[in-house]
Structures are given as C-alpha cells and as structure tokens.
Amino acid sequence: MIEWFVSALRGNPEIALFLALGLGFWIGSWKFGSFSLGGVTGSLIAALLIGQVHVEVPGLVKTVLFMLFLFGTGYSVGPQFFRSLKGDGLRSLAFTAVHSGVGLAIAYAVARRLQLDLGLSAGLLSGGLTQSAAMGTASDAIMALPLPEAERQLLVAHIAVADALTYLFGVIAPIVFLTTLAPRLMGIDLKAEAAALEAKLGIKRAAPNIISAYQRFAFRAHRVENADFIGKPANEVEVILPTGRMFVERLRRGDRILPLDSNTRMERGDILVLYGRRELVLEFGPRLGPEVHDPELLDFPIQVARVIVTNKDITGRSFGELASWPAGRGVGVRTLLRGGQAIPISPETVLDRGDEIELIGPQPSVEHVAREIGQIEVPTASTNLMLVATAIVLGAFIGLPSLMLGTLKLSLTTSVGVLIAGLVFGWLHAVRPAMGKIPDAAVNLMTQLGLAGFVAVVGLHAGPIFIEAIKATGPRLLLGGAAVTLTPMLVAFWFGRYVLRMHPILLVGAIAGTQTVAPALIALQEKADSPTPVLGYTVPYALANILLTMWGTFIVLLRSQFG
C-alpha cells in the first residue's frame, strides 16, 4: 500500500503538489494564541516532508505560479507604492528603506561570516525577514548564473532549507518585541496609548460582528408648525457642523410629495423628512413641529455603494474638511479600505487616491457624490484575463534585457519585471477604475495559490537533501536567522522613535508592516484592544513587500560577486 502511494506521487507530481498545499494550509491554520504559521510556511514544511520520496515537478510549474503571485502582489499594493513616493508618504518610504536596507546588509554580512553558499544565503534572507517571495527572485538569479545545472539546482534547493529553518523565529520575534518589549522601551501602555489616539482622532468602534442598538443616522418626519420657518426655504432647516450634518430629504404638501430644490418654501402643515446625525435630528426636528408617522413619505431607496477615490480635489483632504463640502450633501461614510485593510474613520482621517470608501444615503445623493469622488466599484465575479496575461507578458519582456559589466550580467529578471507590471497596472486601476478590474477574490487566489504553490514546488525539490543540510548548517542558520530578524527591527525602532518621532502606536504598526508579518499586526491590535496600529501598517507593508522581494536578486548578486 505504501509503495503504491509513493509510486503514485512520483508518477503524478500534481498530486504531490496539491497534497502539499492541502496539508500545508491545514498546518498553517493551527493556532498558538494569536500566532499561526500561515498557509505558505505550512506548505513549505509539508512539501519538504513529502519531498523525502523524491518527487520531481516540472520547473515551468514553479515559474508560472510565481509569476501569478508577483503580478497579484504588485496589483494589490500598486496604489500605496506610488503614493509613498510623494508628500507624507516619503516618511514611510524612508522608514521602510532603512529597515529593508539594514535587513539586506545584515543578511549579506551574516551569510559571508558563516560562509553560506548562495542558496543558504538567500534562504537566510527570505526566512529571517519573512518574505517568502524573495525565494523566487533568488531562484531566478541563481538559475541565471554560469554554473553547472546540477549545482544550480542544489543551490535553489538550499533556499528552501534555510527559509524553513529561519522563518519561525522571523514570525515569533516581531510579535514578542512589538507587543511586549517595544512598549516597555517607550514607557507606554499599549491600551492606554491606543485609546488616547482613538480619542484624538475621534474614532468610535464596536466589537466584530456586533452592532450598536444606537444608530448614528436617523430619518424622521416632522410637521411644520413653527411660524419662524413658514415661508422660508426648506434648506434653511439643514444643519452642517464639524461634528455632524442634518438634511431635508423629502416634503409632503397635502396629498402630494414634492421635489425639493433651493426655491421650495415651507408652508404650515408641510411634512419634512429630516435625515442626518441622530442627535441633530432629535434637537432640531421639534423646532419645526411635532414628529408624525408617515410610512409613505419615509419609504424611499437608500443606497450603499463602494467608491474608489480618484478625484485629485478630494485626495489629501480629511473627513473633517469634507464635512462642509456642498457636493457631499446627504451622504454618510460607513467604511474605508486602504490596501485591503480597514482604516478607522475619524474627522482627522485623510483620503488617498485608490482608497475604497463605502457610502450610504438616498440613492440620487449617493450616485451624485460617487461621481464627484471617483467611480462606483461595480461588483463583478469575472477576471479580466486579457489584462493579466498582457501585463505578465509586458513585465517579463521588461525584465529580459541585460547589461554586461565585465563578467557580471545585470538584469531585472522576468520576475522583477512582472512585479513592476503588477505595480503599474494596480496603480492605473486606482486612477482609472474602469480599466482592468480584477475582483479581490481573484487577486487573493493569485497571491495565495501562486506563492504557496511556488514554495511547495521548491520544497518538494529540496526534500531529499533537507535532513543532510540541517545537520550540516542547522545551528549556524538558526543564530544567523535571529540576527537577520532582530537587527533591522531594532534599527527601525530607533529610527522611527528618535529620528522620525513617530507616534508609538503608528511606530509599532509600521514595524509590523516592514517585517511583513500580518500575525504581528493582529497581535498588536489584540494587545492594544484597538484597530489603530493598522494606520501605521499599510504603506510600510506595501513598500516592504516590493523591496524585500527584490532583495532575493540582490543577495545572490552580492554573494556571487563580492563573496
């Protein structure tokens, strides 16, 4: 039975690949408090174990999966990446550049000190900095070297070995440091500091899956009885304050429901629908007259729409500034997404191009405001495969040209070219939403399946030499990986705290982003009992994903040319 199973895996490598993925995501789902390995690392571990039976997967499979991952990653972080190149984003760029630069430098120094080969050097970097994508760019760089095929294959296999040994500490260390040691070094209490930041930003939140019985927005019908309002334009009832707004939405006169405009004047007995912040409706409604029950008047369509921000006049402005924006009349904001992360909404929250905001209000008002802000995101289940394929082809061609410096061949490689194409097309979609929409679920599939599948193929290939490599280099790699994880994190902490003078909550969130450790963000939010760390996380996370991925090529170049 066992022989038949092993023979089936060897003869049908696609079964071994999906077995590694299935087992890997199961292993990755195991929870240890707020910590879990995740599907990618789980797939690598499962593949290394399955690979003990010598399963050969065609190399083209690995290349295709990795290109899908790179395009999906670039597409998803493109808007934040280009946004970081100007204005306030330069601080995030400087912070991420310091962290990532130190990470590359320490990985090179440790690899040279320990006399690791090219594959182990690359795996040390990818595992210590928890950037599995660097395995792919490093693999491409190694395969482009003028070495015997067998040696190149061995070096590529060593990447997976070193990554598997160093990745676990690379995930655990940031969680411990950011939730325990960093607050002590700053002399703060995470909960108290986060609560103070929430109060400063005016953030009000509820527990997940729980909604408050108190709803911020109210629709009430009031009969006009107060003589002070009779004969005046209906819009004089409207209230626009920094703390909230109230609008007149509909008017009944006798048996007729009349359209409202700036010339509509109130008469005694008119019934108005007041809509806005509940406290304002309750305060100003009785001034008109008594509240009445009018189901027909209150029965009108309310629309909820997700809108991508593209208007240059809107970007860079806070919700507090937009409170008195005439074009925003009658519309409220429910959620704000930036780079797939929910951003807390407050009067201080500033909008950026490519942000996705969820609007709510009367249908005509929502549609009008959506046109002023950008474009409504129409839900779709289909993926523009022509765009995906074209972008990958263009990116691959961008990466093909090379420059010879003596015996040194310099090239972006097709991997980095595809990553750049993803960045550009993701940014173009944020600027022009009608161009190349790819559903979030499809992007998630490309990134999850692409990277997990890639590392699984690498793991299957590395399986036969895994045990021997651990015996030969295990202790050295563990210590080296710890240095690669801790050094850039500590330098970034010092730089953000004393040079950039970042807010403590934003600083720990930014470090979680530059380490590209999503579990660290989750642990931070749990420890702080607040979503605010995400405010510092999103842009550094996007930038670090790009830089650390490219470092896979750089570490191979440095070790091959300078020892």
84-135: pLDDT as tens digits: 777 667 888 999 999 999 999 999 999 999 999 999 999 999 999 999 899 9
Please provide the size of the chain in residues.
563
Tell me the residue type at 83: R
**pLDDT at position 204 over 70:** no
In a domain, 286, yes or no: no
Picking from 298, 273, 300, 268, the residue whose alpha carbon sits closest to that of residue 285 is 273
For the chain, percent of residues with pLDDT exceeding 70: 93
Domain membership flag for residue 508: yes
Identify whether 189 is part of a domain.
Answer: yes
Alpha carbon distance, N-terminus to C-terminus of the chain: 49
Q: How far is CA 192 from the centre of its chain?
A: 26
Determine the average pLDDT of the residues in 67-74: 92
In a domain, 392, yes or no: yes
Handedness of CA 417, 446, 380, 521 (dihedral sign): negative
For residue 208, pLDDT beyond 50: no
Most confident of 145-154, 173-182, 354-363, 484-493: 484-493
Closest CA to 333 of 228, 457, 442, 244: 244
* C-beta neighbour count of 293 within 10 angstroms: 7
Q: Would you state the pLDDT for residue 22? A: 95
What dihedral do alpha carbons 523, 529, 533, 535 form, nearest 10°?
Answer: 140
pLDDT tens for each residue of 389-436: 999 999 999 888 866 655 556 667 788 889 999 999 988 888 777 777
**Strand ranges in 236-372 using DSSP code E only, listed in sequence order:** 239-241, 244-253, 256-258, 271-277, 302-309, 332-338, 341-342, 356-362
Model confidence at 184, in pLDDT bands (50, 70, 90)? Answer: very high
Query: Tokens representing 364?
Result: 């005509």
pLDDT of 211 reads 47
213: in domain: no
Token pair for 121: 């050097």
Query: For the chain, how many structural domains are there in total?
Result: 1
Q: Mean pLDDT across the stretch 321-342?
A: 78
- CA pair distance 442, 386, nearest whole angstrom: 14
Task: Tell which wins on pLDDT, 207 or 152.
Answer: 152
Decide if 521 is inside a domain. yes
Q: Domain range for residue 461?
A: 2-199+382-562
Question: Tokens 């979030």 belong to which residue?
Answer: 440
Distance CA 266, CA 246 (A): 17
- Across 308-314, average pLDDT: 85
- Residue 236 inside a domain? The answer is no
Lowest mean pLDDT among 159-168, 182-191, 333-342, 400-409: 400-409
Does residue 227 lie in a domain region? no
Cβ atoms within 10 Å, residue 490: 16
* Sign of the CA dihedral running 496, 497, 501, 507: positive
